[in-house]
């Protein structure tokens, strides 16, 4: 947009610019220029200081104070070789000041550069808006996940609070063994949802007070596969699947449902298995009281190379020792 009360001036600028990719609109009254800017949403405003006079300062000041267009590029043109005037233009918020008579090549290069920077700014704003929207959606998804976990806890009251505890401890261990940061959200979600497949297990089996029959055990050992069936269709959660699907596999191959062994078990599941057993032994269950931390650690050490990966056992016990010194180990109330 060219703001110039001389039609001859507007035509003169257009002739100098003469760029195929540039479309012009003009406003001859600087007092109406702001409304025209809001209506036309130009990528660049060129104001002739000589014609617009004092209104030009008011115009640029209003642009800079209006949030929607505060970053709009503004170029001021003047026929005066006045250094103080140029300084004032920059202080008021002009992006550039061009002196008459125009150098055609310089004028065209300046306009291209300013408009290119403006396009980059708009792209950056769009990326920020997209990122903000994505974060809001992600937060909504994560709140939904926590709602599922709460539903599971309400159904299986003997493990109430277990999912949140193991998710927190798994994240502590993941950071301790320096798991890449980009995997942290997936590990967190997987840990929260590790037992989501139990929603498909009948209450009569899940809440049975006595020992399970062989058939009942086969049913409950299918819950990792139920987790896969429930979560795989949700693309957002596919990267979190290793923990819900494989956390009952054992290092020596005696786990379930696939009897995987060693490093064929996804790393996240190997990590989580340690925390899951630690939590199960460290907190009260209807059939027994929480065990002492010394007993729990002895059990975990005894399962090194059988249930758990030896290197991870060593790291986990180191972490527990550090947390013990800090006084940050969660304990049964």
Q: Are residues 21 and 169 in the same domain?
A: no
**Quick check: 150 pLDDT over 90?**
no
Strands, sheet with 45-48, edge to edge from the N-terminal-most edge strand: 26-27, 2-3, 45-48, 74-78, 96-99
Average pLDDT, whole number, for the chain?
A: 86
Specify the CATH number for the domain of residue 45.
Answer: 3.40.50.2300
Whole-angstrom distance, CA of residue 305 vs CA of residue 312: 10
Please tell me the pTM assigned to this model. Answer: 0.62
Same domain, 32 and 121: yes
Tell me the mean pLDDT in the region 134-151. Answer: 81
Question: Is the confidence at residue 333, as pLDDT, over 90?
Answer: no
Q: Are residues 44 and 193 in the same domain?
A: no
CB hemisphere CA count around 1 (13 angstroms): 21
Q: Is residue 261 part of a domain?
A: yes
Cβ atoms of 307 and 252 closer than 8 Å: yes
Phi/psi at 98 (5° precision) = -115, 135
Check whether the bond before 122 is cis (ω within 30° of 0): no
Instruction: Report pLDDT for 96.
Output: 83
Query: Residues 236-257, buried b or exposed e (16+ Cβ, 10 A)?
Result: ebeebbbbbbbbbbbbeeebbb
Residue 20: other Cβ atoms inside 10 A:
5
Based on the domain organization, do 165 and 260 belong to the same domain? yes
Look at residue 118 and tell me if it is in a domain. Answer: yes
Same domain for 59 and 166, yes or no, is no
**183-236 pLDDT per residue, tens:** 999 999 999 999 999 989 998 888 887 888 999 999 999 999 999 999 999 988
The answer to whether residues 121 and 160 belong to one domain is no
Q: Quick: pLDDT tens for 268-318.
A: 999 999 999 999 999 877 667 889 999 999 999 999 999 999 999 999 999
HSE on the CB side for 74, CA within 13 Å? 27
Residue 294 lies in a domain: yes
Tell me: do 268 and 322 sit in the same domain.
yes
Domain boundary among 83, 109, 126: 126
Note whether 182 and 288 are same-domain residues. yes
Position 193 in a domain: yes
Residue 133 lies in a domain: no
Residue 147 maps to a domain = no
- Give the range among 49-53, 60-64, 252-256 with minimum mean pLDDT: 49-53
Q: Distance (Å, rounded) from C-alpha 3 to C-alpha 47? A: 5
- The answer on 201 and 118 residing in a single domain is no
Q: Into how many domains does the chain fold?
A: 2
Residues 170 and 78 in one domain: no
Same domain assignment for residues 110 and 228: no
Domain-terminating residue out of 80, 104, 126 = 126
Span 14-31, mean pLDDT?
73
Q: Of 78, 107, 126, which marks where a domain is finished?
A: 126
The residue segments making up the domain with residue 25 are: 2-126
Q: Tell me the pLDDT band of 159, cut-offs 50, 70 and 90.
A: low
Q: Is residue 137 part of a domain?
A: no
Does 333 map to a domain? no
Instruction: Indicate which CATH number applies to the domain containing 177.
Output: 1.10.3210.10
Residues 116, 161: one domain? no
């Amino acid at each position: 947009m060219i703001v110039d009360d001389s039609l001859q001036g507007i035509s003169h600028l257009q002739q100098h610019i003469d760029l195929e990719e540039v479309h012009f609109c003009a406003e001859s009254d600087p007092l109406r220029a702001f409304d025209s800017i809001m209506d036309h949403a130009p990528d660049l405003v060129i104001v002739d200081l000589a014609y617009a006079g004092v209104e030009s300062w008011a115009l640029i000041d209003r642009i800079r104070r209006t949030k929607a267009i505060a970053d709009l590029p503004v170029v001021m043109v003047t026929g005066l070789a006045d250094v103080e005037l140029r300084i004032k233009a920059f202080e008021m918020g002009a992006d550039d000041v061009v002196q008459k008579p125009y150098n055609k090549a310089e004028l065209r290069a300046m306009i291209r550069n300013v408009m290119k920077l403006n396009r980059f700014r708009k792209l950056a704003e769009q990326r920020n808006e997209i990122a903000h929207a994505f974060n809001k959606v992600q937060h909504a998804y994560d709140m939904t996940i926590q709602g599922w976990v709460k539903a599971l806890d309400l159904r299986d009251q003997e493990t109430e609070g277990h999912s949140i505890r193991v998710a927190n401890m798994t994240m502590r261990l993941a950071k301790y063994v320096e798991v890449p940061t980009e995997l942290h959200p997936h590990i967190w979600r997987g840990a929260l949802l590790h037992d989501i497949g139990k929603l498909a297990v009948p209450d009569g089996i899940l809440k049975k007070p006595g020992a399970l029959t062989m058939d009942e055990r086969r049913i409950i050992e299918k819950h990792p596969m139920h987790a896969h069936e429930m979560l795989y269709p949700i693309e957002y959660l596919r990267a979190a699947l290793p923990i819900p699907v494989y956390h009952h596999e054992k290092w020596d191959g005696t786990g379930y449902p696939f009897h995987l062994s060693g490093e064929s078990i996804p790393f996240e599941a190997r990590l989580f298995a340690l925390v899951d057993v630690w939590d199960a032994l460290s907190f009260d269950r209807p059939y027994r009281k929480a065990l002492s931390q010394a007993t729990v650690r002895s059990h975990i050490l005894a399962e090194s190379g059988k249930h758990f990966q030896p290197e991870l056992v060593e790291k986990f016990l180191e972490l527990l020792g550090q947390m013990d010194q800090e006084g940050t180990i969660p304990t049964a109330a």
